[in-house]
């Protein structure tokens, strides 16, 4: 079964988010916090989103399934945020070298990782 992820801008949008499975609004109940590594400190965790359950109890028309609701600035399964990646891509689109774009974006990954991913994705299919 494929994981379903919804994105919201902030904590206030969580309650009114639409269920990804059944489409109902107002039936989501938060039941767990999703944590990830904090970019500012090596030993700290930060909130990346919430797990939500679509309530099907009582008169609610939900489906009873769960899903992940992730904050919009988070890239799932990555240690850096969307604004940092936007800075890197903006530098590359502006004509900077990979190293210069990486230095300006201050990504929390090694330069070698950026080179590896960029080269692998730009290589022609065999």
Per-residue pLDDT of the chain (126 residues; tens, 9 = 90+): 566 777 788 777 877 888 888 888 888 888 888 877 776 666 778 778 888 888 888 777 888 888 888 887 777 666 677 787 888 888 888 988 888 888 888 877 788 877 776 555 554 443
Length of the chain: 126
Q: How far apart are CA 110 and CA 108, in angstroms?
A: 7
Query: Rounded distance, CA 43 to CA 121, Å?
Result: 32
pTM here? 0.56
Handedness of CA 113, 115, 120, 121 (dihedral sign): positive
Q: Are 75 and 85 in contact (CB under 8 A)?
A: yes
Residue 126: what pLDDT?
39
Instruction: Look at residue 115 in the predicted model and tell me its pLDDT.
Output: 77
**How many helices (H) does the chain have, and how many strands (E)?**
3, 4
Nearest-5° Cα angle at 15, 64 to 63: 15
């Amino acid at each position: 079964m494929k994981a379903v992820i919804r994105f919201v801008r902030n904590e206030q949008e969580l309650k009114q988010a639409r269920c990804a499975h059944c489409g109902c609004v107002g039936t989501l109940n938060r039941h767990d916090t999703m944590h990830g590594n904090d970019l500012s400190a090596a030993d700290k965790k930060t909130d990346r989103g919430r797990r939500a359950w679509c309530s099907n109890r009582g008169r609610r028309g939900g489906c009873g399934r769960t899903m992940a609701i992730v904050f919009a600035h988070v890239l799932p399964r990555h240690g850096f945020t969307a604004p940092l990646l936007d800075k890197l891509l903006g530098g590359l689109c502006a004509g900077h070298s990979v190293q210069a774009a990486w230095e300006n974006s201050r990504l929390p990954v090694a330069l070698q990782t950026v080179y590896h991913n960029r080269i692998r994705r730009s290589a022609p299919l065999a």
